[in-house]
Structure 1
Amino acid sequence: MTRRIALSVGALVVALLVLAVVPLGISITDREHDSFREETAARARAVASAAEEHLSDNKPDQEAAEQVANAGQHGDCALVYDRHGTLILSTACQDSALPPSAAADVLRDGRPQTGQNGDRLTMALPIGDTNPPAGVLIYSRPTDSLDQQLLTVWGWLTLCALGALGAALFVANRLARWVGQPLVALDGAAARLGEGDLGARATVTNGPPEVRRLAATFNAMAARTENLIHGHRAVIADVSHQLRTPLTALRLRLDLLAADAEGDTAQELAGAQEEIARLSRMVDGLLAVARAENAVPRQTSVRLDRVVADRIAAWEPVAEEREIGFTARGPAGLTASVGPGDLEQLLDNLFANALEAAPAGGRVEIRTRRDPEGAGVELAVVDHGPGMDAAARERAFRRFDTGRESGTGLGLAIVHRLVTANGGRATLEETPGGGLTVRLSLPAGPAETRPFRRERRPQRGERSAEKSGERGSEKSSGPAADGDAQNTP
């Protein structure tokens, strides 16, 4: 901004200087030309007057010779002709800017002539007031002194213009810094706050009063935002502690009762255990949604192909148990700019939904590409399950919007809020042939040139152990294993 203001003021000053200095220079130049011409004419008339006394009054030519010699001493050229065109007096130099016939023309019609050729101004004047005149004076003067004077004038004008321009640029630069530096500090504080630094404040002690008031308003807003987010985080921590602890204790008591129960009592206790597990997942889901709504992510660059491969490896035991396969397609090296762990949480929720919806023997497709509508990247999770109708897709990102008893309706709500918090967007589309496609558009991160080393995939024996651990985590972790309902068309 400082440079733009300085350049704008400089351009304005240059235009004003051109409009003021150039006409002034032209006016001074014309005045100097007129003064030089008048001075030359005065010198020529003095020589002509002395020559007239000799030619008309028959006086000695001593005075006329002195005037001609004086003209020669000044570097001028003077030629005196009588009425017959005979040269009677002259200086050593005989340069003239007029044609050789100029003397004869003046003798014939009695009118003076003036001409300038190169570096000389020449005048042809009739001698005497009679017609035809008593003689002719050809007086020539070099214009070196005039050129030097004009050069000096234009030099001073240029120097004054450059000085005025320099002073204007200096003042404009100081003014721009006075206005711009507080705005730069305010912009930096806003950027840090947007990146998640809740303690970011703008330190503005100078600048225009409007900018200082803006900085004070920003600091007050940042302080209120920090207090609100810290308050929400405290509520989340309290809820997490106050709800999870009694739910865990209740589940343990039900487990102890179920161990000795038989018949109808065992069935009722099993149902109660399922409701407790569902309530635990719902609490975890609510906490995840609250964190997504209140967190300000510090975005980092992550490789899509690496995270997708990692989450596929984690969910493969669950997919194999349900006879569902994964297919990942997309160019290597695509990076997204998201908060730490956000992409993993997005994929966990989308995989849980897709595995709940996909039929046995089906496949879940993960497609990545550069966003054709912008500078971001696009990730799509495609299943071929029952899908959702248009009305269900419109409300799918709302909390608790589920069409079956086993789901909590929080998975897609978490996805939507995480994507939005990272500056992206999430859309739901119908899969051609049936099913649901969840398409995420995320900000692109800087390109990564390091080669991707794929992690070793677990063997069959290892998967069985991992499967049991994964299933155990499904029961306790809501967002990672909670699927939103996909309504039958």
Structure 2
Amino acid sequence: MTRRIALSVLALITAVLVLAVVPLGLIMTQREQTSFRDDSAARARSIASAAEEYLSDRKRDAAARHLVQEAHGRGDCAAVYDRAGHVVLSTACSDVAGDDSARLVASVLADPGTRVRQDDQWLTTSVPIGDASDAVGVAVLSRSVDPLQDRILAMWGWLALIGVGGLGAAVLVAVLLARWVGRPLRVLDEAAQQLGEGALDVRAPAGAGPQEVRRLAATFNTMAARTEALVHGHRAVVADVSHQLRTPLAALRLRLDLLAADAEGDTAAELADAQGEIARLSRLVDGLLAVARAEHAVPRPGPVRVDRLVAERVAAWEPVAHTGRVRLTAECRPGLTAFLGEGDLEQVLDNLIANSLDAVQQGGRVLITGRRQGGTVRLRVVDNGPGMSRAARETSFRRFGNPEASGAGLGLAIVHRLVTANGGTADLLDSPGGGLTVALSLPASRRGRDRDGKPGSGDTRASDP
């Protein structure tokens, strides 16, 4: 954004400078040329006026000769021709017109009037001497255009210097303006990214940048403070509820165990049923608390070696699978890395493996696969159990949404909350040949960019070999 603002302001000021300097230079160039022509014509008329006294009134040629000598001193070429076209007075370089001098003089005598001719080196002005109807001669003044070109070049040089100076000032202003606007926005973006990654105490400075950016930073800080208060408050409620529910349940279970130790017959059976209900209630409370924690968790993603973690969880659940005569295996690409909150993937895998082992019958199989696809880690837990109906799959990620669940129906809800909180997705699919496949898409790189603009440190290969 800083670069775009700077380039936009610079382009605008450059356009203004070009539109202002170029027309001004053209106008001043035309004015210089016109002034040079008018001055040449005025000097030629002065020589013609002085020569008229000599040619018409037969006075001395001192005045005309003096003006011709002055022209010679300035580096100009001057000549005075009589009615017959003969040179009366001239400087050493009078023959500037060359072979065209005779035709030029003849044309002025035939049709009295000022003639101006310019080439690359000289500006020649021819003025008739005497009355317009009866010219007695011609005064010709040739001036070098080099001084004119030098003045025009100097003028354009100054204009270019002014333009470059203005452009330099524009660059400075554009950079300062871009930093003034862009820097607080960049800081605010970094603060928002940190808040999204779980740093609830982060705040953005609200005293820099334009007024709109300051108000945005203040609004962000208010939102962050309220989010922090809500999350901390919910965590406190979950902790209190956990303590307040588990303590009486544990006490009640202990009393039932004591009563069941001395009970017989129908009383023992009733107490056993009550103990089962207490155990079910305890599992339900634990599941609800786990869902609540997952729903309000704000993960701080970090690199997680998915292949190693899958291998660890498979090893941990292998005794349970062996007891149920279920084959539990994993096929993950080496070095597979995802960015997740600490402990989230362990909890997700434990819930999925537990659900699969409960659903698969003896001789069944549970397979966990993992691979990299673009910026996503594709993790699948595939079993060949009875599977789920389409209606059950559509509601299984809700709390108590699966009517076919054998337990509390909270495992998949916990999985869905943890995966989506980390920026991933979870889907339920039919396994080829029957069964259920849980397909997880996990972020394989950091969301956003580091301060230096480089991508996150995760693996950024397009796909696994």
TM-score tier, shorter chain, comes to: 0.7 to 0.9
RMSD between superposed Cα atoms in Å: 2.8
SS in 2 for 1:41: helix
Counterpart position of 2:24: 24
Q: Indicate whether 1:225 and 2:230 are aligned.
A: no
SS in 2 for 1:312: helix
CA–CA separation in structure 2 for the residues paired with 1:236 and 1:258: 32
Counterpart position of 1:9: 9
Counterpart position of 1:454: none
Deviations 1:163-185 (CA, angstroms, capped at 9, x unpaired): 44444554554444444444344
Higher mean alpha-carbon deviation, 194-203 vs 155-164, is at 155-164
CA–CA separation in structure 2 for the residues paired with 1:330 and 1:60: 118
Paired residue for 2:189, among 167, 187, 190? 187
Counterpart position of 1:155: 157
SS in 1 for 2:204: coil
CA–CA separation in structure 2 for the residues paired with 1:402 and 1:146: 95
Counterpart position of 1:234: 236
Counterpart position of 1:395: 395
Q: Indicate whether 1:104 and 2:103 are aligned.
A: yes
Paired residue for 2:246, among 238, 244, 247? 244
Q: 1:41 to 1:251 in 2, by over 3 A?
A: same
Q: 1:154 to 1:133 in 2, by over 3 A?
A: same
Whether the aligned pair in 2 keeps the contact of 1:102 and 1:124 (CA below 8 Å) is: no
Higher mean alpha-carbon deviation, 299-308 vs 33-42, is at 299-308
**1:281, distance to aligned residue in structure 2 (A):** 1.9
CA–CA separation in structure 1 for the residues paired with 2:121 and 2:363: 103
SS in 1 for 2:437: strand
**1:39, distance to aligned residue in structure 2 (A):** 0.4
Whether the aligned pair in 2 keeps the contact of 1:5 and 1:172 (CA below 8 Å) is: yes
Q: How many residues align?
A: 446
SS in 2 for 1:426: strand
CA–CA separation in structure 1 for the residues paired with 2:299 and 2:220: 20
Deviations 1:431-485 (CA, angstroms, capped at 9, x unpaired): 2322222111222224359xxxxxxxxxxxxxxxxxxxxxxxxxxxxxxxxxxxx
> What is the TM-score when the length of structure 1 is the normalising length?
0.82
> What is the TM-score when the length of structure 2 is the normalising length?
0.86
Letter in 2 for 1:400: F
**1:131, distance to aligned residue in structure 2 (A):** 6.7
CA–CA separation in structure 1 for the residues paired with 2:146 and 2:100: 26
Letter in 1 for 2:62: Q
Write the mapping of 1:81-480 to structure 2, written as runs, cut at 5 A: 81-94=81-94, 96=96, 98=97, 100-108=99-107, 109-110=110-111, 112-129=114-131, 133-258=135-260, 266-371=268-373, 375-403=375-403, 406-445=406-445, 446-447=457-458
**Percentage of identical aligned residues:** 63
SS in 2 for 1:387: coil
Counterpart position of 1:79: 79
CA–CA separation in structure 2 for the residues paired with 1:305 and 1:95: 99
**1:263, distance to aligned residue in structure 2 (A):** 5.5
**1:68, distance to aligned residue in structure 2 (A):** 1.7
Letter in 2 for 1:249: A
CA–CA separation in structure 1 for the residues paired with 2:406 and 2:270: 17
Higher mean alpha-carbon deviation, 4-13 vs 416-425, is at 4-13
Q: Indicate whether 1:70 and 2:70 are aligned.
A: yes
Q: Unmatched 5+ residue regions in structure 2?
A: 446-456, 461-465
Higher mean alpha-carbon deviation, 53-62 vs 147-156, is at 53-62
Letter in 1 for 2:151: Q
Counterpart position of 2:450: none
